[in-house]
Amino acid sequence: MQRAPDVSGPWTSGQLRRRGVGEQELRGPGYARVFHGVYAAADVAPTLRMRAEAALLVAPAGAALARHTAARLWGGVVPPTPEIHLTLRPVSRLRVSGIDARVRAGSATTHHHGLLMTTPAQTFVDLGTELGLVDLVVLGDSMVRRGGHARRAAPCCWDRARAPGGPSWR
């Protein structure tokens, strides 16, 4: 079996076909499906980062990693979840098994290690509506210890969270 050059993944099936990988080879033992239409080399471990990159490949333009996924990529401690979490721009939609994509206007985003994701403070605010008190304290503490993320950026997101239409706190 000959694998296309520089293909560790993730790649869309279209990208692989343009590199000469046929349908039969794509379905063979050399490639593993990450999400519908997205593959990686079978010998590549499905890390969080690789799965996040794969999710962004099938997401509409402007999608950003969010909530649990962003928290873990920022070094925060959150309860495990099998899905990759994305935030989408208004009027965007995405339905792919293994990806939890939600539409949200005005999320603060930034690039971190080449990935578009919500800022640490925005991530913390977003998870304020999903996590219980103990998990939220653990997240905040882990993010502050990791690099002071939440402490530096919290005021801007606190104002946004309290704005009409912002998340409601438990």
What's the pTM value of the predicted model, to 2 decimals? 0.79
State yes or no: pLDDT of 21 exceeds 70.
yes
pLDDT at 161 over 60: no
Distance of alpha carbon 161 from alpha carbon 133, whole angstroms: 17
Angle at 160 between CA 147 and CA 132, to 5 degrees: 65
pLDDT at res. 2: 45
Residue pair 78/66 in contact by the 8 Å Cβ criterion: no
**Crossing angle of helices 120-127 and 149-162, rounded to 10°:** 50
Q: What is the pLDDT of residue 93?
A: 86
* 50-59: average pLDDT: 93
pLDDT exceeds cutoff 50 at 170: no
Neighbours of 75 (CB within 10 A): 13
